Chains A and B, each alone.
Chain A
Amino acid sequence: MRKRAIKGSTYNWTSISNRRAPSTAKVLRTTTLLVLSFVVLAPVTWFVLSSFKDLTDFSARPPMLFPSRWATENYSEAFAMYDYTRYFLNSLFVTVVATVLTLLINSMAAFAFAKYNFRGRDGLFVLTLAMIMIPLQVILIPMYLVVSSLGLVNTYWGMIIPAAATPTGVFVIRQYMLTIPDELLESARMDGAGEFRIYARIVMPLARPALAVVAIFSILWRWNDFLWPLLIAQEERLYTLPVALALLNGQLVVPYNIVLAMSVMSIVPVLFMFIFMQRQIIQGIAHTGIK
């Protein structure tokens, strides 16, 4: 307790005044947080356990917490009888290509906004930020019609390109690039480096922390994205995981326990990402409010 007080924790006074027994407030607070944790974890746990139940266990009343037999065939059938591999690869492809494209074009725009003086710069930057005000939901129909007239419905590019330019990505990378000293660029120019070379070889490596934040969020958005792929991927060969899960769930011919197994597998990559990059994700949100 004393040690914590010296370290200057948030409320030193609570630590000092309650050195002997935990105060009622402390107990209440911890209890509330425990209840909250239960409300978050219990449904997810239930869901994961359900994905191992066979159809007999599913209709059991009262339902059982643990499956009477661990039906791992739910998982193997997702691969064998349904096209889980394809949905997974589609999601992976769209996520990876879209993230690479986002990083490339967002950082290029950010570089221009941060390191050049040009006519219309501030206007274009404000225009870029103003794109936040027009979310997909409000232009759903005209955007679909435009993409459709370009022949991009039922294509991977139709899923990838329209959302690749993100205002928040440009903003986050530009703010970071502003901190890179201009002298570095100047000396490279003296040495005869071209502008693209300066961007690719000097500025990009230095902007790595900002690029990492944008990459993490792009991966998250794209992996979990639903509304846009639902519009574009109308053929089953193009379904990403969320689209496949939502549509298979509506079909009575697909056993529910298989949908559950697929769902559990689809959230595993994100959970791993969260475990290893929790700090960057939480700080990214705390500092920029992006999501």
Chain B
Amino acid sequence: MIVRGPNQVVRRRPSKSWRRRITPYLFVAPNLIIFITFIIWPAIRGFYISFFDSMDGSNFTYVGTANYKAIFSDPVVATVAKNTATYVLFYMTISTLLSLAFAIFLNEQRFARNFFRAIIFLPVMLSPVVVGLIWNDVLDRKVGPLNTLLEMAGGGSPGWLVEPTLGMIAVIFVGIWVHLGFYTIILLAGLQGIDRSLFEAAAIDGATRWQITTKITLPLLKPTTLIIIILSTIHGFQSFDFIYTLTGGGPLGATTLIVQYIYDRAFQTPIQYGLGSAAGVILFMIIFSFTALNFLIGRKKDAV
């Protein structure tokens, strides 16, 4: 990028040249001040606090690495870690596979394609809090429509939001339901960037649809798919809001993920700012490594 230097143009009046020189800094300042105050400074402070113990945010007791040790030995944290790992793993895998399938379907679809695209995207627009309420209603054990249908089909009435394993399944399903359209749209854009003559040439050479998909489409879609894997992993680790109204982290803490754990450390007794901050530092390291990976891969594509 070539930007003509402003100070090459005007040298006549030194006062104006000085003013020009600080102009860009003034333009950047408001944005930068907010970043420094509300992101960079808290990030540094969070790292610092993670070595302390505090229940009120004003009195801090130095505890060394005790918070980190607690995180790796506390049975409650172990459950949260297990829940988060389970959630992220299933959420990422199923989201990626389904969005790949639906992107390929939508790309081939002629009939009502824009309609289907809009429908699959709809949940992305909805407030996650409302999504949690919607599925809370649908999955209700006694008067929910899903169990009513299941009972009619002779499938009993599973306690979706009452039993730990089923609760986790429900949370994973709803998580995918919310975001699937987002990933599908990105993959669809990737598909539409593929040179069509490749498909045509393969078809002329007598390749079957399956061969074209596995030998041409999927390999060419690999970079975009990788981005989806990384994005869905990051989103998985950040999940909080729809779970809050769907299960509230229950039953019996079975769907409490790391973000809710951090939130609870600040707002539920016992308040433990230090422990929560340490959990935040660990979450940061996880998300950082995946985002860095995304940057390295997406660099050329300007993908953010």
Interface residue ranges, A against B (CB under 8 Å): 4, 8-15, 25, 29-30, 32-33, 36-37, 39-44, 46-47, 50, 58-63, 65, 104-106, 108-109, 111-118, 121, 124, 127-129, 131-135, 137-148, 150, 161-165, 167-168, 170-171, 175, 178, 182, 186, 189, 195, 199, 220, 223-224, 226-227, 231, 241-242, 245-246, 249-250, 259-260, 263, 266-267, 270-271, 273-274, 278, 281-282, 285-291
Q: Which residues of B contact A148 (CB under 8 A)?
A: 57
Q: What are the 6 A-B residue pairs with the smallest beta carbon separation, nearest first?
A: A286-B189, A142-B46, A112-B27, A13-B203, A165-B34, A116-B24
Complex Cα distance, B199 from A234, in Å, reads: 57
Q: Are B117 and A63 in contact (CB under 8 A)?
A: no
Interface residue ranges, B against A (CB under 8 Å): 1, 3-6, 9-10, 20-21, 23-25, 27-28, 30-32, 34-35, 37-43, 45-46, 49, 57, 102, 105-111, 115-130, 132-135, 137-138, 142-145, 148, 151, 177, 182, 185-186, 188-189, 196, 199-200, 203-204, 209, 227, 231, 234, 237-238, 240-241, 244-245, 248, 259, 262-263, 265-267, 273, 276-277, 280-281, 283-284, 287-288, 291-292, 298, 302-304
Q: Which of these, A4, A118, A145, A278, contacts B25 with CB under 8 Å?
A: A118
Q: Are B42 and A142 in contact (CB under 8 A)?
A: yes
Q: How far is the CB of A276 from chain B (nearest CB, A)?
A: 12
Q: Are A137 and B238 in contact (CB under 8 A)?
A: yes
Q: Which residues of A contact B234 (CB under 8 A)?
A: 135
Q: Which of these, A137, A146, A171, contacts B41 with CB under 8 Å?
A: A146
Q: How far is the CB of B47 from chain A (nearest CB, A)?
A: 8
Q: Which of these, A47, A133, A142, contacts B133 with CB under 8 Å?
A: A47
Complex Cα distance, B120 from A186, in Å, reads: 47
Complex Cα distance, B303 from A287, in Å, reads: 8
Complex Cα distance, B1 from A121, in Å, reads: 13
Q: Are A124 and B111 in contact (CB under 8 A)?
A: no
* B19, closest chain A residue (CB): A195
Q: Which of these, B130, B138, B185, B200, contacts A46 with CB under 8 Å?
A: B138
Q: How far is the CB of B149 from chain A (nearest CB, A)?
A: 10
Whether A138 touches B196, Cβ cut-off 8 Å, given contacts A112-B28, A146-B37, is: no
Q: Are A223 and B9 in contact (CB under 8 A)?
A: no
Q: How far is the CB of A232 from chain B (nearest CB, A)?
A: 12
Q: List 6 A-B contacts (CB under 8 A).
A: A25-B209, A61-B142, A63-B145, A128-B32, A146-B37, A274-B118
Q: Which residues of A contact B200 (CB under 8 A)?
A: 12-13
Q: Are B186 and A285 in contact (CB under 8 A)?
A: yes
Q: How far is the CB of A274 from chain B (nearest CB, A)?
A: 5
Q: Which residues of B contact A147 (CB under 8 A)?
A: 38
Q: Which residues of A contact B120 (CB under 8 A)?
A: 36-37, 40
Q: Which residues of B contact A114 (CB under 8 A)?
A: 3
Q: Which of these, A60, A62, A286, contacts B185 with CB under 8 Å?
A: A286
